[in-house]
Amino acid sequence: MRGGMASSAGDALSPAESEDIRMTTVDFSEPFDVVVAGGGNAALCAAITAARGGARVVVLEGAPQFYRGGNTRHTRNLRCAHDGTAPTMTGPYEEAEFLDDLMRVTGGNTDRDLAEMTIAHSTELIGWLGEQGVRFQPPLGGTLSLGKTNAFFLGGGRGELNTLYRQAEALGVSVVYDAPVIALMVTDGFFVSAQIMHDGRQHSVRGKALVAASGGFEANVEWLKQYWGPAADNFLIRGTPYNRGDVLRMLLDAGIMPVGDPTQCHAVAIDARAPRFDGGIATRLDSVVFGIVVNREAKRFYDEGEDTWPKRYAIWGRLIAQQPEQIAYSIIDSRSIRLFMPSIFPAVQADTITELAGKLELDPPALENTVAKFNAAVQPGTFDHTVLDDCRTAGLAIPKSHWARTIEEPPFYAYPLRPGITFTYLGVRVNKNARMLMKDGKPTANMYAAGEIMAGNVLGKGYLAGIGMTIGTVFGRIAGEGAATHANN
Ligand SMILES: Cc1cc2nc3c(=O)[nH]c(=O)nc-3n(C[C@H](O)[C@H](O)[C@H](O)COP(=O)(O)OP(=O)(O)OC[C@H]3O[C@@H](n4cnc5c(N)ncnc54)[C@H](O)[C@@H]3O)c2cc1C
């Protein structure tokens, strides 16, 4: 059953060769050694490692082939500790500094042992991914300031995924697309089989071990509504529509210990014109700090200049979620239009605030009034968007603490904003071997988890750019190795 096309690390197959392998019909009559549920970064890292460990592996990807790879398709980078010699990052970025950063953003809401282990293993990732054929860009400068901490994939997350799929297939991993796991047979923490829907009928896929790598539940609006109510109908999901949390739900129902706050999700402000799903990074908007943000009633509702954008951008999704109809408008004038990375959609433009209000369907006198009051409150200062400058307002109930400049030079611009959900925090509890734990704390017999579905063990709260892919790659490798070892014994 192994494809018999094992290639040396980094060998790339021609598109025709890999297409041939993809067309292979998978035989479900014999049990596999390792069944991997999901088809993103964590799944592929697990599948490759398990195959290298001699296991017969099947990847069950719920999405069709074109949409394979979940939210990994949208990623650009991963965070790694390193000693400064890596050609992909400036440095060094010591493990202790990485841990400090993680403790700060999570407020200590992390399993410290797992966090330290993740960070220690992060030093191996550039090398390991490189061995699979993944290529990286030179260190990145510019507005993101991640050149020291994060390595950027050449070709983005899609490039990384395509390489990992090629490598997995070359190692004989069977990949089944359009194969959502719809049920799991689990008895007392022992995995027996996964039920999939494929080609219009159900199949039972048996295996000696399971790796669950099927992401969070952020695309399941009904589930989000349990915590957010009808407001969730107005949320936009930044990633794949296929991460509905079905496998997560099955695991929790089977008695696996949960981790992470089910009511929490990572939500940022994105362009309200983005599609309901899969808008990715091109719809993110960084204009907030440069002007004012008003709601449907043309009223400001939060300090737009509280802190630098990277430190604050993740609170804006939640703030907008609390506004009427979950919509807001970022308003700037011509002096700021070139200061941020634009959205893929052009700004709404007008020569007067009244005209702008009309185009946004806001009450023109109300917006005129808000802008006039804001302009009157702006204090003299020296504008510098690279630091926490001294441009602020005085006397407003809702101040703007930095970068406050009058909005008076036409043309005026606006971007409509909605909450954009990146991921959810609820997951399954694992130990250092990526083995899932039952509610009583006992390790399961043969069930492993990697990626977003268990990220809450390390990232209980907040976010650190690039850590999602770090957690997925580290735990994917550990899960794959553990599952293969279990299957071999
Ligand atoms: C716009 C955007 C940008 C991001 N940028 C970055 C970044 O630059 N760096 C970073 O570290 N993180 C980033 N993230 C977070 C990152 O995407 C995740 O941390 C990471 O991709 C998780 O990998 P994963 O393999 O666990 O999940 P995913 O890549 O989401 O894969 C989950 C897989 O499970 C499949 N699946 C779901 N349900 C089922 C089922 N029932 N049966 C079978 N398969 C199923 C899906 O189809 C998918 O293939 C970003 C997220 C978004 C939305």
Ligand 1 contacts CB of residue 63 (under 6 A): yes
* Cβ atoms of 28 and 197 closer than 8 Å: no
* pLDDT at 143 (0 to 100): 55
* Cβ atoms of 198 and 187 closer than 8 Å: no
* pLDDT at 310 (0 to 100): 67
Which residue, among 314, 300, 320, has the nearest Cα to 407 in the 3D structure?
A: 300
Beta-bridge partner residues of 418? 270
Cα–Cα dist 399/300, whole Å: 10
The runs of H, that is alpha helices, within 326-414 are 353-360, 364-377
* pLDDT at 8 (0 to 100): 33
Ligand 1 contacts CB of residue 266 (under 6 A): no
Determine the atom of ligand 1 nearest the C-alpha atom of 41: 25
Tell me, in angstroms, the distance from the centre of ligand 1 to residue 453's CA. 9
- Ligand 1 pocket test: pick from 119, 125, 162, 214 the residue with the most ligand atoms within 8 Å of its Cβ: 214
* pLDDT at 343 (0 to 100): 87
Ligand 1 contacts CB of residue 279 (under 6 A): no
* Cβ atoms of 317 and 335 closer than 8 Å: no
Determine the atom of ligand 1 nearest the C-alpha atom of 281: 1
Helix (H) or strand (E) holding 446: strand 443-449
Ligand 1 contacts CB of residue 284 (under 6 A): no
Residue closest via CA to ligand 1's atom 5 equals: 75
CB-based contacts of 355, cutoff 8 Å, min separation 6: none
* pLDDT at 2 (0 to 100): 34
CB-based contacts of 297, cutoff 8 Å, min separation 6: 324, 363, 366
Tell me, in angstroms, the distance from the centre of ligand 1 to residue 165's CA. 15
pLDDT in tens, the chain (489 residues): 333 333 333 344 444 444 444 444 889 999 999 999 999 999 999 999 999 999 999 999 999 999 999 999 999 999 999 998 888 998 899 999 999 999 998 999 999 999 999 999 999 999 999 999 999 999 877 656 688 899 999 999 999 999 999 999 999 999 999 999 999 999 999 999 999 999 999 999 999 999 999 999 999 999 999 999 999 999 999 999 999 999 999 999 999 999 999 988 999 999 999 999 999 999 988 899 999 999 999 999 999 999 877 667 778 999 999 999 999 999 999 999 999 988 899 999 999 999 999 999 999 999 999 999 999 999 999 999 889 999 999 999 999 999 999 999 999 999 999 999 999 999 999 999 999 999 999 999 999 999 999 999 999 988 899 999 999 999 999 999 999 999 999
Cα–Cα dist 476/470, whole Å: 10
Tell me, in angstroms, the distance from the centre of ligand 1 to residue 476's CA. 13
> Sign of torsion, CA 80 99 140 414?
positive
pLDDT in tens, 61-120: 999 999 999 999 999 999 999 998 888 998 899 999 999 999 998 999 999 999 999 999
Tell me, in angstroms, the distance from the centre of ligand 1 to residue 255's CA. 24
> What would the two tokens of residue 18 be?
């890999």
Ligand 1 contacts CB of residue 271 (under 6 A): no
Cα–Cα dist 345/257, whole Å: 43
**pTM confidence score:** 0.92
* Cβ atoms of 254 and 186 closer than 8 Å: yes
Residue closest via CA to ligand 1's atom 19 equals: 468
Cα–Cα dist 410/306, whole Å: 25
> What would the two tokens of residue 171 be?
């190692």
Which residue, among 402, 324, 414, 321, has the nearest Cα to 371 in the 3D structure?
A: 414
Cα–Cα dist 39/60, whole Å: 7
* Cβ atoms of 477 and 129 closer than 8 Å: no
**CA dist list (Å): 347 to 109, 187, 234, 268:** 38, 55, 21, 18
Determine the atom of ligand 1 nearest the C-alpha atom of 466: 11
Cis status, amide bond into 342, omega within 30 of 0: no
